[in-house]
Amino acid sequence: MTRKKNEWLDWIKALVIAGLLAFIVRMFFFAPIVVDGPSMLPTLKNGDHMIVNKFNYLIGEPERFDIVVFHATANRDYIKRVIGLPGEHVAYENDTLYIDGQKMDEPFLNGEKSTLLEKQLYTFDFTLEDVPGDFETIPEEHVLVLGDNRDNSTDSRILGLISYEQIVGEADLIYWPLNRFSLIKE
């Protein structure tokens, strides 16, 4: 009878440890997210299931063109692309991104831009000063984010700059549907 009791105790310990490890991994390292809406088309599609890597930003900072998940409101997380970093000035003019006056290529948009009619813009002109908050440069520990589907995205142009504290992590792996299984890089 004692042997049976010890077996049960071992099983309970193993399940508790497994549950605790799963909780720790979920809370501090990785979390699932489902893309909701068209704001990141063509890169991400509505219903894509992704893994958010929370660990990257515990040891480092967001980089330009990372796809991040952040707390937009108390009840809602958004997924967007980092465009501007701390200390930078961001502007769009004639569908071209300028960081501190230097023209920047956005390779993830090249396919979409090539389908536009002549004189049609993918990203309408704006500057950092047009973003809520009236900044001349992006403050420390903040980023400017935009959706890849610039005509249909609630992003920094509406929400303002995103603080590092709001960022949950980097979304870089689509795991469902299986035909879209891939790592997301610019």
- Which of the residues are catalytic? 39, 80
Residue 158: CA count within 13 A, CB half-sphere:
12
Q: In what order do the strands lie in the sheet with 126-127?
A: 102-104, 96-99, 90-93, 126-127
Which stretches does DSSP call E strand in 11-130?
30-34, 49-53, 67-71, 77-84, 90-93, 96-99, 102-104, 126-127
